[in-house]
Structure 1
Amino acid sequence: MGRPADTPDLAGRIARLEAIEEIKALKHRYLRACDAKDPEAFRACFVSSGASIDYGALGTFDDADGIVEVFKRIALQKVDGKNVILDMHHAMHPDITVHDANRASGRWTLKFRQVNLLNDTETVSTGEYDDEYVVEDGRWKISKCHFHRYWAITRPIGEDCRIDR
């Protein structure tokens, strides 16, 4: 049975719920930055230094600057002024634990789709994010982001496929 609304720790419970909502908004900013190809907004989601990042085949880094460079190299590719890597990130099933006022951890399931116009392929994959968050300069930031892919399927894009950009 839940706690009555007038228990003495109501303020703490509200603070925890606010932290969870702020962390969800942080993860959504991160995902939107990925899809919008915005390396500055992507970088701003992480702590200023010392983040633990493991994106499997994309690399392991001890600071967010390394993954930002990979992001730029892959996501920002253009041919004839048009993007050739088209991504769609959807994170769901958040499981966020607030440890204290400045530390939290979370797990998310990712649904990912990528159209690669260089290789004429479409990839659909899924996996899990294992994150840690800290408050830095008054805002929640990602201090650890490890991604484990469960599976992926890559298929060719046929000549009869139309891609509108």
Structure 2
Amino acid sequence: MSDEVDVRDLARRVARLEAIQQIERLKYRYWRACDSKDPDAFRECFVREGAEIDYGPLGGFEGREKLVELYSHLALRRDGDRWLYNDIHQGVHPDIELVDAGTAVGSWTFWFMRVNLVDGVIEQNSLEYRDRYVVEDGEWKIQRSQVIPLTGVTFPIPEGADVAPGPEVPE
């Protein structure tokens, strides 16, 4: 066995690790956009054309614009200075596999909590994301996303609970 380093092999391995890290950062950026109520950042996480999105109970979407429309309708609802929906998205246990230099698949375990002032409830759910990522204009984007519900519970917001107003968003 040789002690010589195969530079080409190292370069491939580093490129693979960098791609996986970029995909993980993409998914975290997506969830951060959800929580910070930023439809433009949300939109930019998906391919411009041909996105396939199956969000289970929320519905299926061909292309990103219908999903962004639904997201904006729900996430940006207000009653005066108070958001009517406040979300917390937390994704863990990423399992990303590169198919080739421009395609990858991945799965994530996901925990979601929503303070839903419309219905006066707190919703907690765990789900699994199964995604397909592609490189578009030099950046990784979500091309396909499927959400599989695992567990969930909904309970009323207790009487007299102090519910924070939610994130500040520049107008």
| Aligned counterpart, 1:123 | 123
Gaps of 5+ in 2: 166-171
Runs of 4+ in 1 over 3 A off after TM superposition: none
> C-alpha offsets along residues 42-87 of structure 1, whole Å, 9 cap, x if unaligned?
0000000101100011110110111111101111110013211000
Aligned to 2:61: 61
Identity of aligned residues (%): 45
RMSD: 1.3
Cα deviations across residues 127-160 of structure 1 (Å, max 9, x unaligned)? 1000000000000000001101112100000113
Partner of 1:89: 89
Q: Which amino acid aligns with 1:98?
A: L
- Give the match for residue 133 of structure 2: 133
Could you tell me how far apart the structure 1 residues matched to 2:132 and 2:13 are? 20
Secondary structure of the residue aligned to 1:9 is helix
- Taking the aligned partners of 1:129 and 1:164, their CA distance within structure 2 comes to 29
1:31 Cα offset (Å): 0.3
- Could you tell me how far apart the structure 1 residues matched to 2:45 and 2:149 are? 21
Contact persistence 1:59–1:67 (CA under 8 A):
no
Number of aligned residue pairs: give it: 162
| Structure 1: gaps spanning 5 or more residues | none
- Determine if the alignment matches structure 1 residue 109 to structure 2 residue 84: no
Give me the whole-angstrom Cα distance separating, in 2, the residues matched to 1:70 and 1:149: 19
TM-score (norm 1): 0.95
Quote the residue 1:25 is aligned against: 25
Q: Structure 1 residues 164 and 52 mapped into 2: Cα distance closer, same or farther (>3 Å)?
A: same
State the AA in 2 paired with 1:26.
Answer: L
Distance 1:100 1:67 in 2: 27
Q: CA deviation at 1:5?
A: 8.7
Distance 1:59 1:81 in 2: 29
